[in-house]
Amino acid sequence: MPGLAVAQDFPRRAPELDRIAQELFAEIQSDQIPYEDLYGTLLNFYQSPLNLNTAGPEELRALPLLSEAQVAALLLHRRTAGPLLSVYELQAVPGWDVRTIERVAPFVTVASTNPNAVRGPLWQRIKNEENNAIILRYERVLQQRKGYTAVDTFQGRPTLRYLGSADALALRYRVSHAHDFSLGFTAEKDAGEPLAWRPGHNQFGPDFLSAHVVLYEQGRLKTLALGDYQLQFGQGLLLSSGLALGKGGETVTALRRASLGVRPYAALLENTFFRGAAATYQLAPRWEATAFASRKNIDANARQTTDSLAQFDEFSTSLLLTGLHRTATEIANRQRLAETVGGGHLGYRSPNGNLSFGLTAVGTHYGMAYQKRLEPYNRYEFQGQNNLALGAHYSYGWRNMLLFGESGRSSGGGLGTVNGVLASLGPNVDASLLVRHYDADFHTFYGNALSENTRNINESGLYIGLKVRPLPRWEVSAYFDQFRFPWLRYRVSAPSHGQDALLRVAFTPTKTGLLYVQYRARLKPLDLPSSLGRPVPLPGQQLRHSLLFYCDVQPTPRLGLRTRLQASYLRADDNLPWRSGFVLSQDATVQLARRVSLAARYAVFDTDDYDTRQYMFEQDVLYAISAPALYGQGTRAYALLQATLNKHFTLWLRYADTRYRHQATISSGLEEIKGNARSEVTAQVRYRL
């Protein structure tokens, strides 16, 4: 057909998400970060690849793998040479080296400038869509945990136990086409959760159910979402969806955010989405307006006041974000608090896409008052039932430079602002600068701009990043971040400050090989233990040094090898000894046959305590995230088999095993295992319709 580009000559392979995570993140230091959101965003790009012939600057910046110079070079190439004919043509775009092309290839495509020009009925487009699949996953820990043993009695009362089986199940269905539609549903039961039919408690079999219908490009109606969705505007200060890298190995491009607007939600996290409806309408050629409304019940505890003069008769002291409902107490707190969120966004984008700005409003109402415990560090935390946050954001690209920022105000009068600049200072030098300030009484519940805290509150900071390519195949990345906390924090009983610095030297011997060495130092405030002869804990600082060596080579087309050595040393006070931990892992990936591959790892770890634990990303079945915390002494091994049985069925089988030395039990509480081994099995099947 005339007008169609020849794009079939470039084979799109599945993305190596664990390798991308190794490059983007400096190190994992917490299991509370929703890495599944990052994976979900990248998988969205894989399932609905970015069309390099039609994507604007904002869409290109949504990929955290492209620098400002590369974005500008691609846009200039399109204006001067016309649409790309093949992904291979990227080699002719200045600044697009082989490594960059290899990294972005799974997430992009080259198609005609109007891929939806010829459209039939929606049902027919869904029926003919190749990206149409059902996925079923099963997981289980083989050893018996205390929570699944028979109930006994303690002091005349039955002991606490999980109410469901040890099996974890997840069912997904998704069909989507870029800039056209997305439909899907998800059902999940975590280990320990019962399958129950309780309509009065919003449970219909599996503990978590999610569904969405999203339509794009319906005339002036640019997006219509029904069901579960996410929102991303500005720099994520008020509304941020999944893709928020923060500080990591990518020291420059990770700072910026893209205004992606309304996005379908298809992950398994039970608290990072909106449920209701959202729509984006084109008011004028360069103006768009988005309105959204959401109502869902979220997990929270509930307490009755004992003070007759108190403002609220019933209130909640904490929102529960684990998504686990296994015991009677967890089930009682399930969806206890009604949350209603509504608002809108008005945005402008210049004809060339270089200038954009917008206004955002987010109103939140809780069905029950929210009031944290009366602790000094909670003095400025949100209290009550209503919060209104208003904000404005901007982004301006000029040549190889991008200026961006967002500022907001919440109901209590607290202010928040984040402003930055990315610049390509030369063909081989990129730099970034970001300044942020969040008042102690600045409250947003779905914001996630860059910060040292897990939330945008009680923090000021200055971040400087640099990336230099001094020689072909060599890259040096570094950042320095200085931050302070004007008010108290949990386990920090005074205003405090800290620093975070990273240096990485990387070498790519071939287009598939990668070696890097990384050093990171973090100085963070932390109350010193009172056991040091002090009557009460006093403010202090914890110093952590982290070292990392990573080597990824492919000696043959069928064999890939990865070696990773990481270690950390930390001390909380000059009078305390240094504590340390390390892990050494060896990975191998083998293409056994054209449709069968095997990935395996063997790791040895040794840490002094839980504070020196080590995290590492592991290869897992599609859509699953695995980054276990390794502490104590022992070994960790896993094997992952992937087999494409035919054009419809793909099967994944995974077995992982952790062995501890000098331990008679593993974990504690209801997760306790008698013995020194913990083994997990995962099976997943995908059926393409």
What pLDDT score does 5 carry?
40
Please give the distance of CA 623 from its chain centroid, rounded to a whole number. 12
Indicate if the pLDDT at residue 651 is higher than 80. Answer: yes
Structure tokens at 464: 């400087």
Cα separations in angstroms, 10 against 86, 89, 451, 636: 7, 10, 39, 37
DSSP state of 145: B
- Pairing of β 337-349 and β 665-666: unpaired
Residues 6+ apart with CB under 8 A from 112: 3, 4, 5, 53, 83
Distance CA 623, CA 616 (A): 17
Say whether 211 sits in a helix, a strand or coil: strand
- Pairing of β 415-426 and β 459-468: unpaired
Q: Residue 1 — pLDDT band, cuts 50, 70, 90?
A: very low
What pLDDT score does 8 carry?
44
What pLDDT score does 4 carry?
39
3-state secondary structure 421-478: EEEEEECCEEEEEEEEEECCCCCCCCCCCCCCCCCCCCEEEEEEEEEECCCCCEEEEE
Indicate if the pLDDT at residue 483 is higher than 80. Answer: yes
What pLDDT score does 2 carry?
38
Distance CA 168, CA 179 (A): 34
CA angle 464, 390, 351 (to 5 degrees): 70
Q: Residue 6 — pLDDT band, cuts 50, 70, 90?
A: very low
Q: Is residue 1 part of a domain?
A: no
Structure tokens at 24: 């983007």
Q: Average pLDDT for residues 622-634, to the nearest whole number? A: 90
Q: Is residue 9 part of a domain?
A: no
Structure tokens at 647: 């054009």
- Read off the amino acid at residue 583: V
Indicate if the pLDDT at residue 39 is higher than 80. Answer: no
Say whether 377 sits in a helix, a strand or coil: helix
Which range is least confidently modeled, 36-50, 260-274, 494-508?
Answer: 36-50
Structural domain of 513: 17-688
**pLDDT tens string 55-70:** 888 888 877 778 888 8
Q: Average pLDDT for residues 475-502, to the nearest whole number? A: 94
Choice between 351 and 306, residue whose per-residue pLDDT is larger: 351
Q: Is residue 303 part of a domain?
A: yes
What pLDDT score does 119 carry?
66
Say whether 522 sits in a helix, a strand or coil: strand
What total number of domains does the chain contain? 1
What pLDDT score does 243 carry?
56
Distance CA 651, CA 590 (A): 16
- Read off the amino acid at residue 189: K
Q: Are 453 and 430 in contact (CB under 8 A)?
A: no
Whether the model clears a pTM of 0.85, i.e. scores above it, the answer is yes
Q: Average pLDDT for residues 2-19, to the nearest whole number? A: 55
What pLDDT score does 439 carry?
97
Q: Are 394 and 421 in contact (CB under 8 A)?
A: no
| Backbone CA torsion sign across 530, 567, 682, 205 | positive
Q: Residue 260 — pLDDT band, cuts 50, 70, 90?
A: confident
Q: Is residue 455 part of a domain?
A: yes
CA nearest to 51, candidates 37, 39, 40, 62? 62
What pLDDT score does 406 carry?
97
**pLDDT tens string 521-539:** 999 998 877 655 555 667 7
**pLDDT tens string 393-430:** 999 988 889 999 999 999 989 999 999 999 989 888 99
Say whether 236 sits in a helix, a strand or coil: coil
Q: Is residue 12 part of a domain?
A: no
Choice between 251 and 153, residue whose per-residue pLDDT is larger: 251
Q: Residue 678 — pLDDT band, cuts 50, 70, 90?
A: very high
Q: Residue 7 — pLDDT band, cuts 50, 70, 90?
A: very low
- Top-confidence range, 45-49, 310-314, 362-366: 362-366
What pLDDT score does 349 carry?
92
Phi, psi of 167 (to 5 degrees): -80, 140
**Between 35-47 and 17-24, two packed helices, what is the crossing angle to 10 degrees?**
130
- Pairing of β 203-205 and β 196-198: antiparallel
Q: Average pLDDT for residues 176-192, to the nearest whole number? A: 92
Q: Is residue 278 part of a domain?
A: yes
CA nearest to 143, candidates 608, 672, 686? 672
Which range is least confidently modeled, 55-69, 79-93, 465-479, 598-612?
Answer: 55-69
Q: Are 401 and 423 in contact (CB under 8 A)?
A: yes
Q: Average pLDDT for residues 124-128, to the nearest whole number? A: 85
How many CA within 13 A on the CB side of residue 149? 15
Residue 79, Cβ neighbours under 10 Å: how many? 9
In whole numbers, what is the pLDDT of the chain averaged over residues? 88
Distance CA 313, CA 303 (A): 8
Phi, psi of 20 (to 5 degrees): -60, -40
CATH number of the domain that residue 671 is part of: 2.40.170
Q: Residue 131 — pLDDT band, cuts 50, 70, 90?
A: confident
Q: Is residue 149 part of a domain?
A: yes
Structure tokens at 491: 């386990």
CA nearest to 358, candidates 283, 264, 298? 283
Indicate if the pLDDT at residue 648 is higher than 90. Answer: yes
Q: Is residue 458 part of a domain?
A: yes
Indicate if the pLDDT at residue 33 is higher than 70. Answer: no
- Pairing of β 496-507 and β 474-485: antiparallel
* Residue whose tokens read 């590369």: 70
- Counting every residue written for the chain, the total comes to 689
Which range is least confidently modeled, 40-44, 367-371, 561-565, 582-586?
Answer: 40-44
